[in-house]
Structure formats: C-alpha cells, structure tokens
C-alpha cells in the first residue's frame, strides 16, 4: 500500500511500514531539524509530497492525493494529552492538529488510517477526548478499532505504552487487526482491560474498544 507519513518525526512509522512492504509517497513534518534527520535517513525522491505545516495544506492539495494514497498514518502531537504535560487536550493548539489529520482523511479518503498516541489519550477528560476522536472518524465513514500496546512486549528494550488506532473505510473491506498478542512468553499487555469485546457504536460505525466505553457504561448504572 502507498502511504502518507503525517507528523513524521524522523520516520519511525515509515521505517516499520517500509519493512512490511509498503511504499511512502511523502511526509509532513513541521520541525526543520527533524526534517533534516528524516531526509538524511530516507533521502528525497523526485515527486514526493513533502510539506512542513499540515495546517497550511489546502483541501485541494489533499484531494489531489485521492486514489494515490491508500493509507494515512500519523502520530499526531501527544503533548496536549500526555501526563507529562498540562493535559489541556483540544484546548491546546497541538491537540487540535488531530482535526487537520481528519481533514486530510476526508479529502484523500484512504482505505486505511493508522494513528498512534500516548496512553493517556484514552482517559483524558474522562474519556471525552477519545470519544470525540471516534465520533469524528465515524462521521468520515471509518470503522475503528484500537489497542494499547507496550514496546517491551515486542522485543524492544524499552517500556513505551502507546494506543494504536486503525480505521477501515466503510465498505472498502479490510480485515480486523486487533487484538495483537505479545511476542513475549510473559504476556503483560493487559488485553482484557484494553481490548475487550465491548462494541462502540456511533452511527454506522462498529469498533472493538478500550476501557473508555466500559467506564461510561458503569456511570450509567
């Protein structure tokens, strides 16, 4: 699949996806020093879609990628949701960048979305932030699933918990991705907590969910 690498950083998403056989058609990254590192690692091909500021990309520019981009990927800025920050969420301008990612999805209409963020995104603002994200993706026509994963369970010498969100364009097919099981014999993923069988329903969407929906159900009792 051909993918657009949004909020690319130095290319962690790209590295993994290219190792899996996918092709990058361009990237978006604001920080100039990070862009230099990215280009030093991956080079710069003629015709690539390379932009600095996602907020400055017009809808028309995104629409030109329709049919060319099969997958939209991005780790949208997490500082607004991280427990290490002020946790202002969508009140923080960095938090609102998710909606530019959603805008790109609306114009491009890729078959697959792949996003990641910090664990605290699930519980931020008592779950309302994550619920807003789910509703937004549903309104764009995507069925969504998600799972909290920790890198230490997959052969990486680092404990790094991140929530991964996968969206499938409704009606375009696509197999279920989650739950992914740990490659370690000692399974510490906590799948029972983070990838249960509760179904989130927003309009036509049906997505296997995290504990955020379970928490809301408890409040109604």
Does the pTM exceed 0.85? no
Query: Which member of 6, 24, 78, 194 is catalytic?
Result: 78
The torsion angles phi and psi of 143, rounded to 5 degrees, stand at -90, 130
Q: What is the pLDDT of residues 154-209, one digit of tens each?
A: 888 888 888 899 999 998 877 777 777 765 544 444 443 343 323 344 444 444 44
Is 75 within 8 Å of 116 (Cβ atoms)?
yes
Q: What is the pLDDT of residues 125-145, one digit of tens each?
A: 777 788 888 888 999 999 999
Is CATH 3.40.50.150 the right assignment for the domain spanning 2-220? yes
pLDDT of residue 66: 97
Domain segments of the chain as ranges = 2-220
Confidence band for 86, pLDDT divided at 50, 70 and 90: low
Active site residue 6: no
With a pLDDT cut of 70, the percent of the chain lying above it is 73
How far is the C-alpha of 172 from the C-alpha of 182, rounded, in Å? 29
């Amino acid at each position: 699949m051909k993918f657009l690498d949004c909020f690319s950083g130095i290319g962690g998403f790209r590295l993994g996806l290219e190792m899996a056989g996918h092709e990058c058609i361009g990237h978006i990254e604001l920080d100039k020093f990070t862009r230099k590192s990215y280009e030093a690692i991956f080079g710069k091909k003629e015709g690539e879609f390379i932009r600095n500021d996602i907020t400055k990309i017009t809808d028309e520019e995104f629409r030109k990628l329709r049919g060319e981009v099969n997958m939209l990927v991005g780790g949208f800025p997490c500082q607004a949701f991280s427990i290490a920050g002020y946790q202002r969420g969508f009140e923080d301008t960095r938090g609102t960048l998710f909606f530019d990612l959603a805008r790109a999805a609306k114009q491009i209409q890729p078959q697959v979305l792949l996003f990641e963020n910090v664990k605290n995104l699930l519980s931020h603002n008592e779950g309302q932030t994550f619920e807003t994200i789910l509703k937004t993706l549903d309104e764009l026509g995507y069925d969504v699933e998600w799972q909290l994963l920790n890198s230490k369970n997959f052969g990486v010498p680092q404990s790094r918990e991140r929530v991964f969100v996968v969206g499938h364009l409704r009606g375009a097919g696509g197999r279920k991705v989650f739950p992914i099981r740990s490659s370690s014999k000692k399974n510490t993923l906590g799948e029972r907590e983070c990838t249960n069988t509760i179904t989130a329903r927003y309009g036509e969407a049906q997505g296997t969910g995290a504990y955020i929906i379970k928490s809301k159900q408890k409040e109604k009792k």
